[in-house]
């Protein structure tokens, strides 16, 4: 098979691609049936209707503790005309659930039974037939339908099955899915050894994710060994998989348009490519095909693309086989905090963080990288941008699918502003101390955080904006950007800011003045961040033009991203905090100790989650964890610096 680039000539929408699969395969008839014990049938799908073998209860049973009597013998009984009953003849002591004695049809609750002597009791009101009695078949009548066909059995259903005498139940077999991971660079998790991966190798994680998703849908999975990017080996693996009794084959990676993306060619040689390319992002390279009359799906290699392809195209196939409707996520209206651009002709799935601010759920977009699986682990929801519009503007109200419990979103503190590693410590401490509360941070820089507060998009912002005229932090900016908002300025930490350099400082960088050297590549922070303002201030002091610095225009949004750029060799240095350098084993050249504060509107201080957060910030346990990060000073942590 020759290596050549694939071209998406006839991409289909998600709905069209899904329907092509449904039309080509009679998926509802794919699965056989098997009989399993009712006690283990939870989450299985009934293969046929289930009828009761016997009634429940199958005898008249007392519904209360008391005495069993024949109701007709008590007619006319009143407080003025009480009725005496002889135990063992007119009345029988009985407990809840016990079978009613022959000839009785009512139970008088024990609270209303008055003892007279050892063998006699008295009641002061009449009973009526079947009072406090569970009659035969009250719950289930023999031969009646308990569960219909194509019903996913719940734990509650198991009780109904057993009470109806159904000890074994016919269910659809679980859809069997084979996953074939491809890629010469991949290494299975079980084969990882040592502290670092060999250069050029990547842990094969997509199959593990897929397996968990498949099992959650009700299927079962077999993962083949990793197949290198050799067309004939991929072809043999696919041929072998489709000759088994599996119901679906997923080829992981190799579905895109690169010269070593062989999935489409393999499917075409063995069968038929039905769809190559779907108008969705992430997930565009997905391939739908058929080999040996079985669906074969080429899943993208980037993790987020693979997950979205699973959600939109693979899981519907599994649910269609089972004959049950795919569960839907709850949807809510949200207000967007930033513009979200989109390409015409592509339906985009934007991962967002959510939180409730002033009774409005606000949505902050996460990075869109198709390989950034953390954008899904951090996401609270997904906003779908239809293919016919060019994005969403800041402040628009749109719908978001919820990935988390709405109560969790209500109890989330939305922090928008400057990045600092202590916010991660704070978020973890909040979750560890009380699982109801969480902290969601979006890193847009200090100025961006103040603007978010002004627009009502957040509960607080992290800020370290230096007033170059007075040498103070934050106050002058708050007065300028938030003139009509009453806020409290709370110190979180004092921290060391400086140049992050590789271990051993091979370029012998000594300070800011070295950034203009021809052999130095710099990585910057984004405009509006406190770190950028500090840098530009120092450059002005040293009379260094930004254009003289190679890499000045290269921007990152967090201190850790700057540190990673230095660690990877993409840059020789970048301005950041000591904690980021220490975390990645890099060296650090101190420049300044700066003040990092939280700006919190006064109105939120009565909020339970803010009070809880402040309690943690002021605790010695939190301060000790922060100090362990390195480069932090906590003598004023949690202190009110100003009310503005």
CATH at 377: 2.40.340.10
**Cα four-point dihedral sign 623, 628, 634, 638:** negative
CB-side neighbour CA atoms (13 Å) of 342:
26
Residue 366 has pLDDT above 80, yes or no: yes
423, part of any domain: no
1, part of any domain: no
159, part of any domain: yes
Residues 290 and 363 in one domain: no
157-216, pLDDT tens digit by residue? 999 999 999 999 999 999 999 999 999 999 998 888 877 788 888 899 999 999 999 999
Let me know if 373 is exposed, middle or buried by CB neighbors in 10 A (0-12, 13-18, 19+). middle
Whole-number CA gyration radius for the chain: 34
Residues 114 and 145 in one domain: no
543, part of any domain: yes
What's the confidence (pLDDT) of residue 9?
Answer: 52
CB-side neighbour CA atoms (13 Å) of 501:
19
List the one residue out of 143, 132, 173, 140 whose CA is nearest residue 157.
Answer: 140
pTM for this entry: 0.83
Question: Hey, what are 310's tokens?
Answer: 């699973």
Q: DSSP 3-state assignment of 378? A: coil
What's the confidence (pLDDT) of residue 191?
Answer: 85
536-572, pLDDT tens digit by residue? 999 999 999 999 999 999 999 889 999 999 999 999 9
6, part of any domain: no
Q: How confident is the model at residue 385 (pLDDT cuts 50, 70, 90)?
A: very high
Residues 528 and 577 in one domain: yes
Assign residue 373 a region (left: φ > 0; alpha: ψ between -120 and 50; beta: otherwise). alpha
- H or E element, residue 177: strand 176-181
Residues 554 and 515 in one domain: yes
Q: Is the peptide bond before 282 cis (omega within 30 degrees of 0)?
A: yes
Q: How confident is the model at residue 529 (pLDDT cuts 50, 70, 90)?
A: confident
274-288, pLDDT tens digit by residue? 999 999 999 999 999
Residues 530 and 590 in one domain: yes
Assign residue 524 a region (left: φ > 0; alpha: ψ between -120 and 50; beta: otherwise). beta
The pLDDT of 379-402, averaged and rounded, is 92
The pLDDT of 628-641, averaged and rounded, is 94
Residues 472 and 621 in one domain: yes
43-71, pLDDT tens digit by residue? 999 999 999 999 999 999 999 999 999 99
Domain boundary (267, 294, 322) is at 322
> For residues 96 and 226, what is the distance between their CA atoms, to the nearest angstrom?
61
The conformation of residue 126, written as its DSSP 8-state character, comes to -
The pLDDT of 584-598, averaged and rounded, is 94
Percent of all residues in the chain with a pLDDT value above 70, rounded to a whole number: 97
CB-side neighbour CA atoms (13 Å) of 461:
31
Q: How confident is the model at residue 617 (pLDDT cuts 50, 70, 90)?
A: very high
Domain count, the chain: 5
Residue 6 has pLDDT above 70, yes or no: no
253, part of any domain: yes
Residues 502 and 561 in one domain: yes
**At what angle are helices 315-322 and 14-24 packed, to 10 degrees?**
40
Question: Hey, what are 74's tokens?
Answer: 């008590």
331 within 8 A of 380, measured Cβ to Cβ: no
Query: 442 Cβ partners below 8 Å, 6+ apart?
Result: 337, 353, 364, 414, 415, 416, 417, 452, 458
CATH number assigned to the domain comprising residue 546? 3.40.190.290
> For residues 300 and 3, what is the distance between their CA atoms, to the nearest angstrom?
18
Domain of residue 597, residue span? 429-643
- Indicate the average pLDDT of the chain: 92
The pLDDT of 361-376, averaged and rounded, is 81
Percent of all residues in the chain with a pLDDT value above 90, rounded to a whole number: 83
List the one residue out of 322, 145, 127 whose CA is nearest residue 219.
Answer: 322
List the one residue out of 187, 224, 184, 216 whose CA is nearest residue 307.
Answer: 216
Q: How confident is the model at residue 255 (pLDDT cuts 50, 70, 90)?
A: low
Question: Hey, what are 355's tokens?
Answer: 């939180």
CA distance to 274, 431, 489, 494, per residue, from 610 (Å): 53, 13, 14, 21
Residues 400 and 317 in one domain: no
> For residues 254 and 181, what is the distance between their CA atoms, to the nearest angstrom?
9
312, part of any domain: yes
CATH number assigned to the domain comprising residue 160? 3.90.105.10
> For residues 432 and 412, what is the distance between their CA atoms, to the nearest angstrom?
14
What's the confidence (pLDDT) of residue 1?
Answer: 46
Residues 606 and 530 in one domain: yes
**Cα four-point dihedral sign 492, 494, 497, 502:** negative
Question: Hey, what are 153's tokens?
Answer: 């059995």
The pLDDT of 95-120, averaged and rounded, is 95
424, part of any domain: no
308 within 8 A of 280, measured Cβ to Cβ: yes
The pLDDT of 14-41, averaged and rounded, is 95
Residues 391 and 502 in one domain: no
Residue 461 has pLDDT above 50, yes or no: yes
Strands (E), 81-158: 83-86, 92-94, 106-109, 114-117, 120-123, 133-134, 145-147
Residues 438 and 585 in one domain: yes
Buried b (16+ CB within 10 A) or exposed e, 51-70: ebebbbbeebbbbbbbbbbe
What's the confidence (pLDDT) of residue 371?
Answer: 65
CATH number assigned to the domain comprising residue 301? 3.40.980.10
CATH number assigned to the domain comprising residue 79? 2.170.190.11
Buried b (16+ CB within 10 A) or exposed e, 331-359: ebebbbbbebebeeebbbbbbbbbbbbee
Residue 3 has pLDDT above 60, yes or no: no
Q: How confident is the model at residue 362 (pLDDT cuts 50, 70, 90)?
A: very high
Residue 85 has pLDDT above 90, yes or no: yes
Give the number of residues written for the chain. 644
Residues 392 and 525 in one domain: no
């Amino acid at each position: 098979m020759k290596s050549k680039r694939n071209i998406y000539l006839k991409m289909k929408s998600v709905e069209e691609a899904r329907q092509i699969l449904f039309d080509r395969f009679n998926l509802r008839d794919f699965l056989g049936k098997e009989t399993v014990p009712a006690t283990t049938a939870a989450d299985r799908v009934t293969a046929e209707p289930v009828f009761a073998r016997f009634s429940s209860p199958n005898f008249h049973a007392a519904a209360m503790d008391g005495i069993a009597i024949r109701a007709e013998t008590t007619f006319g009984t009143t407080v003025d005309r009480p009725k005496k009953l002889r135990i063992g003849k007119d009345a029988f002591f009985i407990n809840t659930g016990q079978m009613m004695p022959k000839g009785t049809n009512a139970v008088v609750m024990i609270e209303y039974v008055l003892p007279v002597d050892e063998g006699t009791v008295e009641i002061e009101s009449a009973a009526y037939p079947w009072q406090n009695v569970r009659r035969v078949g009250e719950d289930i009548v023999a031969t009646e339908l308990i569960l219909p066909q194509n019903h996913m059995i719940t734990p509650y259903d198991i009780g109904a099955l057993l009470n109806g005498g159904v000890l074994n139940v016919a269910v659809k077999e679980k859809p069997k899915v084979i996953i074939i991971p491809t890629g010469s660079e991949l290494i299975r998790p079980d084969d990882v050894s040592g502290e670092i991966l060999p250069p050029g190798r990547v842990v094969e994680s997509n199959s593990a994710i897929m397996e968990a998703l498949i099992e959650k849908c009700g299927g079962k999975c077999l993962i083949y060994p990793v197949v290198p990017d050799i067309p004939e080996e991929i072809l043999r693996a696919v041929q072998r998989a489709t000759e088994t009794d599996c119901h679906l084959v997923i080829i992981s990676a190799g579905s895109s348009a690169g010269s070593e993306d062989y999935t489409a060619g393999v499917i075409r040689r063995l069968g038929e490519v039905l769809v190559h390319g779907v108008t969705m992002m992430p997930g565009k390279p997905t391939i739908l095909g058929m080999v040996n009359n079985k669906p074969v799906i080429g899943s993208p290699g980037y993790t987020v693309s693979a997950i979205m392809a699973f959600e939109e195209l693979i899981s519907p196939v599994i649910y269609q086989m089972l004959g049950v409707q795919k569960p839907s996520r709850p949807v809510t209206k949200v207000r967007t905090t930033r513009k979200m651009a989109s390409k015409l002709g592509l339906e985009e799935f934007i991962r967002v963080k959510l939180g409730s601010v002033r009774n409005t759920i606000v949505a902050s977009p996460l990075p869109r990288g198709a390989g950034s699986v953390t954008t899904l682990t951090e996401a609270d929801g997904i906003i779908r941008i239809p293919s016919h519009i060019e994005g969403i503007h800041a402040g628009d109200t749109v719908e978001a699918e919820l990935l988390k419990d709405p109560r969790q979103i209500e109890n989330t503190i939305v922090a928008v502003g400057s990045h600092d590693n202590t916010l991660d410590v704070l978020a973890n401490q909040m979750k560890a101390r009380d699982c109801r509360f969480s902290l969601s941070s979006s890193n847009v820089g200090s100025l961006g955080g103040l603007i978010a507060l002004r627009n009502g998009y957040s509960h607080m912002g992290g800020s370290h904006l230096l007033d170059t005229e007075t040498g103070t932090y934050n106050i002058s900016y708050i007065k300028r950007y938030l003139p009509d908002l009453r806020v409290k300025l709370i110190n979180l930490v004092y921290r060391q800011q400086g140049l992050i350099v590789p271990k051993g400082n091979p370029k012998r960088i000594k300070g800011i003045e070295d950034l203009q050297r021809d052999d130095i590549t710099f990585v910057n922070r984004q405009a509006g961040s406190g770190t950028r303002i500090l840098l530009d201030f120092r450059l002005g002091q040293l009379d260094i033009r930004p254009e003289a610095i190679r890499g000045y225009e290269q921007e990152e949004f967090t201190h850790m991203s700057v540190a990673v750029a230095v660690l990877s060799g993409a840059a020789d240095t970048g301005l950041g905090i000591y904690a980021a350098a220490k975390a990645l084993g890099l060296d650090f050249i101190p420049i300044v100790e700066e003040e990092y504060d939280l700006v919190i509107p006064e109105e939120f201080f009565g909020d339970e989650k803010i009070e809880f957060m402040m309690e943690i910030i002021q605790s010695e346990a939190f301060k000790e964890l922060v100090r362990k990060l390195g480069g932090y000073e906590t003598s004023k942590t949690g202190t009110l610096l100003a009310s503005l």
